[in-house]
Structure 1
Amino acid sequence: MKIEKLLSKDPLWISKALTTVERDPIAGKELIDSLPEREYHVIGVTGSPGAGKSTLVDRLATELSSDHSVAIIAIDPSSPFTGGAILGDRIRMRHALENDKIFVRSMASRGKVGGLSPAIYDAVKLLGKCGFEKIIVETVGAGQSETDIVNLADIVLLILAPGIGDEIQMLKAGIMEIGDIYVVNKMDVDGAASLVNKIKAMLAFSDRKKEVILTNAVSGKNVDKLCALVEKELSKLIETGLIHKKRAHRELFHKLNSICEIIQERFLEDEKLDTLLEFIKNFDRGEEA
């Protein structure tokens, strides 16, 4: 693998490198270790199916690309029967695919229930070391189970939309607790303003000070304001030093997750390992090692 090609962000070579990361984790880690350290930020995007995540990611990446090099990893669900995936999220990313400053990669979830692919941590690290300053990870869209993103991203955008059950979803624990910025998309649809008010009321009740914003991903309305909120949130993390704690947590969770994958592959029938697997499964932000 030609390092200079990766550092120049050559899309063909980066695609080959990501394939290596997915298919051969050991070779992938060796490749990542050969690259220099770079500063980069990971933006997680999650939310209910049908909320317009892919279209909004397309718009957000395009807005960010005016000042930064951007990479997108879109996780698509794998078939429980064949293990394959349609990898169709990129169909909705027309603007990003036409932009030379944006790299787009689809990855299959491989049946992972937390909304992410098992190789995602190394894939993100590879892209960061190749020089992409903003890396956007869009999760499967599996609803309440989709909480792994909080262990990967520096900040998480929770995308909601009126009329698709979010009023019920936001009363549930889990997914509504992981957002750093709450985005109510499809602002032209009836009920959008009402949903914003409900989210703000929920946040006030839980004493969580988080931003809530209305957007229209199709027209691009307010995406510039969302971009400004993302930059503001990242700056806050840097100024307070919390970003270092998040990244240390990311590395620890990645190691635990890797151990879990090995155990599941090699010792799946050993009931004595249930305790360890349960600990890794329930490892979450804020829990001390």
Structure 2
Amino acid sequence: MVDVPALVEQAREGRPRAVARLISLVEGASPQLREVMAALAPLTGGAYVVGLTGSPGVGKSTSTSALVSAYRRQGRRVGVLAVDPSSPFSGGALLGDRVRMSEHASDPGVYIRSMATRGHLGGLAWAAPQAIRVLDAAGCDVILVETVGVGQSEVEIASQADTSVVLLAPGMGDGIQAAKAGILEIGDVYVVNKADRDGADATARELNHMLGLGEARTPGDWRPPIVKTVAARNEGTDEFVAALEKHHAWMAERDVLAERRLRRAAHEIETIAVTALRERIGDLRGDRRLGALAERVVGGTLDPYAAADELVAGLTTG
């Protein structure tokens, strides 16, 4: 058994091993997970969470690394959750993002953690919300969450971040067309990276046009800016950070930040509750109640929706 209070105290002191251990408890769904979350709850709420998403090849890891450098120059502690595709052999993360951010590995003010998706769709690992809480409680001022990069379906980051960044790059073919029904609807800040390539201005214009389609904004509403960067050469990073800070200030002024965090907490509670119910339903495999309901559905005396209602009622009252 782990001494959770001692581990949390060590994490608050900035000890990377303690932070790593806490996130490992989260990822492994440890029996002590509830104790960990209870200990962290009063210590959270101070970090600014920025999510970065976009199709593979747009430079998410390089952009994340550039942001880390910029925030460190401001003296802010930074946590990075880099969600990598799962290894088909071990189920763990392939660690590609962590390799590309190795320049920050020796900085005590930066904590970088690669997490495997482990089959979870939406671009994030299932344990990401709890891992964000760990980094928040550990004193990180800014938490950067870099998603896998699976394209149009990768919209879950919008429910986990205070500010969602969508990255694109010129020369990606029909990237905007492929993304417009998904990630182009969730961005608070848009970044055209690799802006030294031909077509960068055209990509920015097309993006601006698509963002304007069907706009129904009132005065004072946030208009997502489009920033051009060359992250590999650290060009445009200051403008990128300025756009993030401007959005953060806008949210704080209009209580949007509080609303987003309430929605995030509600989503997290709902996910935990649904997972618990799913586990209880899984325990019913072969149970006579489930079998009896199935027989009635097959016999035509009960429809599947009514059967499901009866099953849920039994699970929540039994």
Relative to the length of structure 1, the TM-score reads: 0.88
CA RMSD of aligned residues (A): 2.3
1:266 Cα deviation from its structure 2 partner: 5.0
Match of 1:59 among 66, 71, 83: 66
- 2:275 & 2:197 partners in 1: Cα distance? 42
Q: What SS does structure 2 have at the residue aligned with 1:65?
A: helix
Which amino acid letter does the alignment assign opposite residue 263 of structure 2? H
Between 1:75-84 and 1:243-252, the stretch displaced more is 75-84
Q: Deviations over 1:18-39 (max 9, x none)?
A: 1011112552332232134241
Between 1:90-99 and 1:221-230, the stretch displaced more is 90-99
Match of 1:245 among 242, 259, 263: 259
Matched ranges for 1:16-165 at <5 A: 16-35=21-40, 36-38=42-44, 39-67=46-74, 68-79=76-87, 83-165=91-173
Which amino acid letter does the alignment assign opposite residue 254 of structure 2? T
2:12 aligns with 7
Distance 1:224 1:273, change over 3 A: farther
1:84 Cα deviation from its structure 2 partner: 3.5
1:274 Cα deviation from its structure 2 partner: 11
Which amino acid letter does the alignment assign opposite residue 19 of structure 2? I
- 2:308 & 2:203 partners in 1: Cα distance? 40
Match of 1:255 among 269, 279, 286: 269
Which amino acid letter does the alignment assign opposite residue 112 of structure 1? H
1:76 Cα deviation from its structure 2 partner: 0.7
Q: Deviations over 1:230-266 (max 9, x none)?
A: 1111111111111111011001111222233344455
Residues 21 and 29, structure 1, Cα contact 8 Å, conserved in 2: no
Residues 83 and 93, structure 2, Cα contact 8 Å, conserved in 1: no
2:184 aligns with 176
Match of 2:207 among 183, 199, 219: 199
Between 1:61-70 and 1:178-187, the stretch displaced more is 61-70
Larger Rg: 2
**Higher relative contact order, chain-length normalized (CA < 8 Å, sep 6+):** 1
Structure 2 residues not aligned, in runs of 5+: 218-222, 291-303, 310-318
Aligned pair count?
275
Relative to the length of structure 2, the TM-score reads: 0.80
Structure 1 residues not aligned, in runs of 5+: 277-289
- 1:29 & 1:274 partners in 2: Cα distance? 32
- 2:60 & 2:53 partners in 1: Cα distance? 7
Residues 79 and 111, structure 1, Cα contact 8 Å, conserved in 2: no
Q: Deviations over 1:47-105 (max 9, x none)?
A: 00000001110110111122311100000112467533312211111333242211000
Which amino acid letter does the alignment assign opposite residue 190 of structure 1? D
Residues 75 and 138, structure 1, Cα contact 8 Å, conserved in 2: yes
Distance 1:9 1:272, change over 3 A: farther
Residues 166 and 189, structure 2, Cα contact 8 Å, conserved in 1: yes
Q: Indicate the percent of aligned positions where both proteins have the same amino acid.
A: 36
